[in-house]
Amino acid sequence: MRIHRRTLLASMGAATAAFAAPAVIGQTRPRVVVIGGGSGGATAARYLARDSDGALDVVLVEPTRTYYTCYFSNLYLGGFWGLADLGHSYGTLAARHGINVIHDWATGVDRDAQTVTLAGGAVLDYDRLVLSPGIDFVEDSVPGWSVTAQNRMPHAYKAGSQTELLKAQVENMREGGVFAMVAPPNPYRCPPGPYERISMVAHVLSERNPTAKILIVDPKESFSKQALFEEGWARHYPGMIERVGPDFGADNVSVDPEAMTIDIDGMLEEVDVCNVIPAQKAGRIAEIAGLTNEAGWAPVVPANMKSRMDDRIHVLGDASAQGDMPKSGFSANSQAKVAANAIRHELLEARLFPARYSNTCWSLIADDDGVKVGASYEPTEEKIASVDSFISQTGEDAELRRQTYEESIGWYNGIVADMFS
Amino acid sequence: MEKIDARPRVRVPRTAAPDEVVQIRTMATHPMENGHRLDRDGSTVPRHIIHRFTCTFNGETVIDMEVGPSVSANPFIEFDARVPESGTFAFAWHDDNGDVYEATADITVS
């Protein structure tokens, strides 16, 4: 297609009229590079661009063109949510908010030169860098498992093709077979996530394959919303779910993906489908940038999500070590708004608001049986601290549980709009 | 009474010194309906529990335990045993429905 200078100018004029004119134009604009287009990164990029009227050059680096939310991916496994409903693209961030969306991997950060290197070779200067890379798996945390075996034993803990694969394996499992999950040690993304997943797998199996069994091999003594899940499992899926904890050696587990066996401290279990959720650490770029501690997470300043190791870098979401907030999409979204405000304050002298954080994690146990846990948080010197919290109660009536589930759908629609619209 | 797939599990050290006291852990998957719970229609769910648990070592009784309806679902039982010689622990869980769930574990004393 040929573009005439006159038509180009006309379309630019129309575009300029469609949103506020930039306050500052050209290379003098401070640049904020955001690495990772999930709940932390997409929210940060959107708030930075939207609230600065074009005064910031916002660059978002995200390798995938369609982002599949981890939250609600369990509901897809359970047949309550469509795969397409989990997927979101970055077009509106570019078209409506003027964000420069680059689909590439960030492979290096030079903190002295304040540059980010991309896999494609480009080098980006930054005034401020926001890292929101999510999680990576700790190598050899489950001996025998590696990404080369993830098709035989899917993790499905970064949503997308792995989630589709696990769903297919569950649906095609032999009659009366065993679905096993190797659950992760703390801390990890989405504390109730593995147990909501168990609920959704149980829902599918109880309809399609009712003599099937579920085995949870869990290195933890206890887990999030345990009383609620166990009550729900006894009610909806009696006798189907067995959980083996560290009392029975579940803190010493290895797998053989070829033989489809799990070795629980010397006791061999034959399984038909095996969901291995390994131990986790901050996404690799945080480590490459030298921002992580011995535990593999990036410590941050509670008041503004700045890295404790570099005050030109903010780390958001699952990758950060911040205190009491769980690693969740809601947390990352909440942290991103605090960081975006702090960055606009420093670069554009925008008014600084005191940091307030909040989180809620909903889980679906069965059809219309939703539960939640949440809290609000404030920064102290040492950590982001929980100031009050709430949790669903055992024995709640069906109507309240249905409302809780409805509320979670409202939240989902709200957060993806807050990230992508 | 319905059948239960109790999947009994035991955890016993593989080796011990002569006369060593070892820790034994057992677990069975069982709803342990205590007979007092109401279902959603308001009617009582009938009692259905494991009412007895036994452990022997080379045929000799180690523990013989009456289990009551207050014990929670998936009963977890832990106890110590002195092991004089190599042999086999045999465990049995007695269900109200007449079924007995069994498991064994060998231990080598040297």
**DSSP count for chain A of H helices, then E strands:** 11, 25
Q: With 80 as the cut, is the pLDDT of residue A26 above it?
A: no
How many Cβ contacts (< 8 angstroms) between chains A and B?
A: 28
Mean pLDDT of A43-66: 97
The residue of B7, B45, B49 whose CB has the most chain A CBs within 10 angstroms, and thus the best one to mutate to test that interface, is: B7
Q: Express each pLDDT in A140-163 by its tens digit.
A: 999 999 999 999 999 999 989 999
pLDDT of the residue at A6: 44
Mean pLDDT of A352-365: 97
pLDDT tens string, chain B, 110 residues long: the values are 889 989 999 999 999 999 999 999 999 999 899 999 888 788 999 999 999 999 999 999 999 999 999 998 899 999 999 999 999 999 999 999 999 999 999 999 99
pLDDT of the residue at A27: 55
Strands (DSSP E) along A37-121, which ranges? 57-61, 66-68, 87-89, 100-102, 106-110, 115-118
Q: Express each pLDDT in A374-390 by its tens digit.
A: 999 999 999 999 999 99
Residue of B nearest to A241 (CA): B29
- Which residues of chain B does A239 touch, with a Cβ-Cβ cutoff of 8 Å? 4-5, 29, 31
Cα gap A77→A35, rounded to integer Å: 29
How does DSSP classify residue A247?
G
Our CA dihedral for A104, A105, A111, A115, rounded to 10 degrees, sits at -20
Write down all domains in chain A, each with its CATH number in brackets.
29-136+281-354 (3.50.50.60), 139-278 (3.50.50.60)
The residue of A213, A226, A241, A242 whose CB has the most chain B CBs within 10 angstroms, and thus the best one to mutate to test that interface, is: A242
**DSSP count for chain B of H helices, then E strands:** 0, 8
Contact call for A239 and B14, based on CB within 8 A: no
- Which residues of chain B does A202 touch, with a Cβ-Cβ cutoff of 8 Å? none
Contact call for B76 and A239, based on CB within 8 A: no
pLDDT of the residue at B1: 85
pLDDT of the residue at B39: 80
Give the gap in angstroms from C-alpha A242 to the nearest C-alpha of chain B.
Answer: 7
Mean pLDDT of A348-366: 97
Contact call for B5 and A213, based on CB within 8 A: yes
Which tokens belong to A364? 């679906």
DSSP-assigned states of every residue in A277-295: ---EEE-HHHHHTT---TT
> Which of A142, A174, A277 lies closest to A216 in space, CA to CA?
A277
Contact call for B76 and A247, based on CB within 8 A: yes
Residue of A nearest to B2 (CA): A239
Out of B27, B29, B31, whose CB is closest to A248?
B27
Q: With 70 as the cut, is the pLDDT of residue A1 above it?
A: no
Interface of B with A (CB under 8 A): 4-5, 7, 9, 11, 14, 25, 27, 29, 31, 73-74, 76, 78
pLDDT of the residue at A2: 46
Give the gap in angstroms from C-alpha B6 to the nearest C-alpha of chain A.
Answer: 8
Which tokens belong to A361? 């994690």
Out of A213, A239, A247, whose CB is closest to B4?
A239
Question: What is the predicted ipTM?
Answer: 0.81
Stated as kind and residue range, the H or E segment containing A359 is strand A357-366
Out of A234, A248, A266, whose CB is closest to B31?
A234
Cα gap A300→A382, rounded to integer Å: 10
Mean pLDDT of A34-50: 98
pLDDT of the residue at A326: 98
Q: Express each pLDDT in A325-355 by its tens digit.
A: 999 999 999 999 999 999 999 999 999 999 9
CATH number of B9-109: 2.60.40.10
Contact A130, A316 (CB under 8 A): yes
- Which residues of chain B does A229 touch, with a Cβ-Cβ cutoff of 8 Å? none
Contact A59, A67 (CB under 8 A): no
Mean pLDDT of A22-28: 54
- Which residues of chain A does B4 touch, with a Cβ-Cβ cutoff of 8 Å? 239
Average pLDDT of every residue of chain A: 94
The residue of A233, A248, A394, A397 whose CB has the most chain B CBs within 10 angstroms, and thus the best one to mutate to test that interface, is: A248
Out of A234, A249, A267, whose CB is closest to B73?
A234
- Which residues of chain B does A238 touch, with a Cβ-Cβ cutoff of 8 Å? 31
Phi-psi region of B35 (alpha: psi -120 to 50; beta: other; left: phi over 0): left
Contact A44, A56 (CB under 8 A): no
Return the percentage of chain A with pLDDT > 70, whole number: 94
Number of Cβ atoms within 10 Å of the Cβ of A292: 23
Cα gap A179→A169, rounded to integer Å: 9
Q: Express each pLDDT in A27-39 by its tens digit.
A: 589 999 999 999 9
The residue of B23, B74, B79 whose CB has the most chain A CBs within 10 angstroms, and thus the best one to mutate to test that interface, is: B74
Q: How confident is the model at residue A18 (pLDDT cuts 50, 70, 90)?
A: very low
Mean pLDDT of A190-206: 98
Contact call for A242 and B29, based on CB within 8 A: yes
Rounded-to-5 percentages of helix, strand, coil across chain B:
0, 55, 45
Residue of A nearest to B76 (CA): A247
The residue of B14, B15, B27 whose CB has the most chain A CBs within 10 angstroms, and thus the best one to mutate to test that interface, is: B27
pLDDT of the residue at A361: 96
Strands (DSSP E) along A316-356, which ranges? 320-321
